[in-house]
């Protein structure tokens, strides 16, 4: 995390900071489960406002950041839909952000495409920025919640064998996960058709599989990604038919049985059923897909508390 405590990618967070966040997330979880609150009443932050500017669609990330803020007592102002903003009248994304910034929130949570450089924005705004997904570049809070899900399952991330299957080339989730999981000591591999994989060597240490069965034989954790059709160059579509893709790389209950018997299935969502996942796999006892969503609230709450300098120390009543 940088000087003004922005969180823009997983490169800028140390493994110690990650485990501190996991510990705060665990604290929020146990406090919520036992007392129905994340924070002791006396610790609710005063005068902290979060502004959300989501320039791309989102269900999980936006709602879990909102839930996290509400549970911490941080009011949120948010654009509900681009169709209702003045971007539709020609205002630029940058001008939109400067105008939201002029309302003096204490933190800005941003989802954007490739057209915004969050590091440049961070230099201009003078308040912390949290990256809620940036083009094909990064999705660092997704990587945090994914690593937290693995950590809760196995008690550690180190040496876990994580296979990421699908459209890696166009996936911000994959890039942030490669960085963070390797930082935490996991063994990471990618699997997909050649057109969906980055050049070997772009991510040193990441193994490549072109056969799903071989990848599943190696893995403990299988993280499946959807095909990011909206990010493909439509003039050079390198996509096999969806049926061919499902036959070769779609995970079915039968293929899931190849996975280590202690293995788990993950997916960041949204899922395209019948393409990357057969519907039956969603109900499989190894699926942790909804746990990922729940974990996202605790992890994002821990991150927001950290970014806003909110004390989470327990006090006696
Ligand atoms: N995983 C994820 O980023 O989902 P949303 O696009 O729904 O936020």
- pLDDT tens for the 317 residues of the chain, in order: 765 799 999 999 999 999 999 999 999 999 999 999 998 766 677 789 999 999 999 999 999 999 999 999 999 999 877 878 999 999 999 999 999 999 999 999 999 998 899 999 999 999 999 999 999 899 999 999 999 999 999 999 999 999 999 999 989 999 999 999 999 999 999 999 998 998 888 889 999 999 999 999 999 999 999 998 777 766 565 676 889 999 999 999 999 999 998 999 999 999 999 999 999 999 999 999 999 999 999 999 999 999 999 988 765 44
Q: Take atom 3 of ligand 1 and give the residue whose Cα is closest.
A: 61
The rounded Å distance from CA 269 to ligand 1 centre is 6
315 C-beta neighbours (distance < 10 Å), count: 9
**What is the predicted pLDDT for the residue at 317?**
44
Distance 172 CA to ligand 1 centre (A): 11
- What is the CA(173)–ligand 1 centre distance, in A? 10
So what's the pLDDT on residue 232? Answer: 73
Q: How far is the CA of 53 from the centre of ligand 1 (A)?
A: 14
Residue 301: which residues within 8 A CB-CB, separation 6 or more? 24, 25, 28, 38, 68, 69, 71, 72
Tell me the CA–centroid distance for residue 158 and ligand 1, in Å: 26
Atom of ligand 1 nearest to the CA of 57: 6
Tokens read off for 314: 């327990």
Residue 59 CA: which ligand 1 atom is closest?
7
What pLDDT does 200 receive? Answer: 80
- Ligand 1: list residues with CB < 6 Å: 58-61, 133, 142, 268-270
How far apart are the C-alpha atoms of 105 and 307, rounded to whole Å?
Answer: 13
Tens digit of each residue's pLDDT (9 = 90 or more) over 158-197: 999 999 999 999 899 999 999 999 999 999 999 999 989 9
Angstrom distance (rounded) from CA 157 to CA 147 = 7
Interval 211-262: pLDDT, tens: 999 999 999 999 999 998 777 766 565 676 889 999 999 999 999 999 998 9
Averaged pLDDT score across all residues of the chain: 93
CA of 216 to the centre of ligand 1 (A): 25
Task: Please state, in angstroms and rounded to a whole number, the distance separating the CA atoms of residues 37 and 253.
Answer: 38
The residue among 29, 21, 242, 58 whose CA lies nearest residue 146 is: 21
Mutate to test the pocket of ligand 1, among 58, 141, 293 (most ligand atoms within 8 A of CB): 58
Q: Which of 116, 36, 46 is nearest to 71 (CA)?
A: 36
Pocket test for ligand 1, best of 52, 56, 57, 60 (most atoms within 8 A of CB): 60
Q: What is the DSSP string of 246-282?
A: HHHH-B-HHHHTTS-TT-EEE--S---BTTTB-HHHH
pLDDT at 316: 47
- Pocket test of ligand 1: the residue of 54, 57, 59 to mutate, having most ligand atoms within 8 Å of its CB, is 59
Q: Give the sheet arrangement for strand 207-209, strand by strand.
A: 207-209, 187-191, 161-165, 221-224, 264-266
Residue nearest to atom 4 of ligand 1 (CA): 60
Of 133, 170, 172, 289, the one to substitute when testing ligand 1's pocket (max ligand atoms within 8 A of C-beta) is 133
CB distance 166 to 249 below 8 Å: yes
In this prediction, residue 236 carries a pLDDT of 61
56 CA: nearest ligand 1 atom: 6
How many other CB atoms are found less than 10 A from the CB of residue 151? 20
């Amino acid at each position: 995390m940088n000087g003004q405590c922005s969180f823009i990618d997983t490169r800028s967070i140390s493994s110690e900071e990650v485990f501190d966040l996991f510990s705060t997330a665990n604290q929020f979880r146990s406090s919520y489960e036992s007392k129905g609150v994340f924070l002791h009443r006396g610790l609710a932050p005063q005068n902290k406002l979060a502004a959300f500017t989501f320039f791309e669609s989102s269900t999980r990330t936006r709602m879990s950041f909102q839930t996290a803020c509400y549970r911490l007592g941080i009011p949120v102002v948010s654009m509900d839909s681009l169709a209702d903003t003045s971007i539709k009248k020609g205002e630029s994304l940058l001008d939109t952000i400067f105008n939201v910034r002029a309302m003096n929130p204490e933190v800005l949570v941003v989802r954007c495409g490739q057209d915004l450089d969050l590091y440049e924005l961070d230099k201009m705004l003078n308040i912390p920025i949290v990256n809620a997904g940036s083009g094909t570049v990064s999705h660092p809070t997704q990587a945090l919640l994914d690593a937290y899900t693995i950590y809760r399952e196995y008690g550690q991330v180190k040496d876990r064998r994580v296979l990421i299957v699908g459209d890696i080339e166009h996936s911000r989730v994959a890039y942030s996960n490669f960085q963070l999981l390797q930082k935490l000591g996991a063994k990471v591999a990618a699997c997909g058709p050649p057109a969906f994989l980055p050049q070997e060597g772009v991510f040193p240490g990441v193994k490549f599989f072109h056969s799903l069965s071989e990848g599943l034989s190696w893995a403990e954790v299988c993280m499946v990604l959807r095909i990011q059709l909206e990010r493909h160059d439509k003039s050079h579509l390198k996509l096999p038919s969806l049926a061919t893709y499902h036959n070769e790389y779609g995970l079915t209950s039968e293929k899931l049985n190849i996975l280590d018997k202690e293995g788990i299935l993950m997916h960041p969502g949204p899922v395209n059923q019948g393409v990357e996942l057969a519907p039956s796999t969603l109900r499989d006892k190894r699926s942790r897909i909804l746990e990922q969503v729940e974990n996202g609230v605790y992890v994002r709450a821990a991150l927001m508390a950290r970014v806003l300098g909110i004390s989470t120390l327990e006090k006696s009543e």
